């Protein structure tokens, strides 16, 4: 199978969201491949994982250059995530690879993400009242045990379902380290996902069913898009990036609890429309008329000139 132009476009859309938020890659890419492009589930998961090995380091490098990666957090999360990813694969084998067991895990994950999205909205409202506070990478006080546990949770989810770690880790990081800016959240999550995704991709290459044409199409579309998204998230203010993160995590949560693709698209479209309406009512840009032209300076009276 060669390059598929539609998969390239879909990969670009998902890559942009991953670059902006660090989340939603597996939750959006895998269902898109299965439902829109008729890729078999096992091949969709494996191909997406292998493509992520190329896509995520691009975003990580951008954030490393911008200084929005907390390398201590990355190390601690990796310490927990990589071993637990292998444990998750082993547990999945013990469960017999049954679709029902994986579905139960995804429903629990979806419920957790929906709760996290709701909590992020509540925090946004609280920040508007008290004023948001952020710290630089060097100023963040590291909590080793909770950070390793965050990595363990994300790694286990990857091993059991092959998707979902980005969304879950973003939520857990946000509430464990409330002073992290949105750019630091995205950069740290993208960087810690590199070794975790590489470990999962090795398993996919060894035991999965990778369709390299699908993988190549995803890479061609997603790599430039994740580069653009990462540049935006590393520079844009929190008030723009956090709502996007919340939106993607909400979409991921709804997908995991069983909302099918087309109702999900309508739901998220309605949320976007409601958000745009709220912004219009709040800001009322139509009342900002054009600046009145400054009056021309008065002409100085001319001295009488004798007429010859």
pLDDT over 90, % of the chain: 12
Q: How far apart are CA 269 and CA 192, in angstroms?
A: 31
- In the structure, what pLDDT confidence band is assigned to residue 146 with cuts at 50, 70 and 90? very high
Q: Residue 141 corresponds to which tokens in the numbers above?
A: 């006080």
User: Roughly what angle, to the nearest 10 degrees, separates helices 5-21 and 41-66?
Assistant: 40
Which of 83, 227, 226 lies closest to 156, judged by CA? Answer: 83
Exposed (0-12), middle (13-18) or buried (19+): which is 42, by Cβ within 10 Å? Answer: middle
Q: How far apart are CA 186 and CA 236, in angstroms?
A: 12
The mean pLDDT value for 231-242 works out to 79
Q: Between 223 and 169, name the one with better pLDDT.
A: 223
User: Range with the lowest mean pLDDT among 67-81, 190-204, 291-305?
Assistant: 291-305
Q: Give pLDDT, residue 101.
A: 61
Q: Give pLDDT, residue 102.
A: 61
∠ CA 167-181-77, rounded to 5°: 50
Taken in order 156, 159, 163, 165, the sign of the CA dihedral is positive
Q: Is the pLDDT of residue 19 over 80?
A: yes
Condensed to tens digits (0 to 9), the pLDDT of residues 266-283 reads 888 898 898 888 878 877
φ/ψ (deg, to 5) at 53: -65, -30
250, 117 Cβ separation under 8 angstroms? yes
Q: Give pLDDT, residue 301.
A: 56
The H or E element containing residue 168 is helix 165-176
Which of 167, 171, 183 lies closest to 230, judged by CA? Answer: 183
The mean pLDDT value for 71-84 works out to 91
Biggest CA-to-CA distance, the chain: 114
Which of 44-53, 87-96, 212-221, 298-307 shows the highest mean pLDDT? 212-221
Q: Give pLDDT, residue 100.
A: 65
């Amino acid at each position: 199978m060669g390059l598929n132009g539609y998969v390239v476009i879909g990969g670009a859309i998902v890559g942009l969201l991953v670059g902006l938020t660090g989340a939603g890659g597996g939750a959006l890419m895998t269902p898109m491949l299965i439902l829109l492009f008729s890729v078999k589930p096992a091949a969709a998961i494996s191909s997406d994982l292998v493509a992520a090995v190329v896509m995520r380091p691009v975003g990580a490098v951008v954030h490393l250059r911008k200084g929005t990666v907390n390398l201590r957090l990355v190390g601690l999360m990796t310490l927990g995530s990589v071993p637990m990813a292998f444990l998750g694969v082993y547990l999945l084998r013990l469960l017999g690879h049954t679709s029902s067991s994986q579905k139960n895990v995804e429903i629990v994950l979806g419920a957790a993400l929906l709760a996290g999205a709701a909590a992020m909205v509540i925090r946004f409202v609280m920040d508007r009242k008290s004023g948001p506070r952020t710290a630089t990478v060097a100023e963040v006080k590291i909590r080793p045990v909770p950070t390793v546990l965050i990595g363990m949770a994300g790694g286990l989810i990857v091993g059991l379902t092959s998707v979902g770690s980005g969304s879950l880790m973003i939520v857990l990081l946000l509430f464990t380290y409330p002073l992290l800016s949105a750019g630091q959240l995205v950069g740290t999550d993208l960087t810690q996902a590199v070794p975790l995704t590489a470990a999962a991709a090795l398993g996919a290459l060894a035991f999965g069913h990778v369709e390299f044409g699908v993988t190549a199409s995803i890479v061609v579309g997603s790599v430039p898009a994740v580069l653009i998204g990462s540049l935006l998230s590393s520079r844009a203010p929190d008030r723009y990036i956090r709502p996007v993160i919340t939106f993607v995590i909400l979409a991921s949560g709804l997908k995991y609890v069983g909302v099918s693709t087309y109702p999900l698209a309508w739901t998220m479209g309605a949320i976007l429309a409601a958000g745009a309406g709220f912004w219009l009512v709040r800001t009322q840009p139509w009342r900002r008329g054009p600046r009145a032209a400054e009056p021309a300076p008065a002409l100085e009276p001319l001295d009488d000139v004798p007429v010859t």
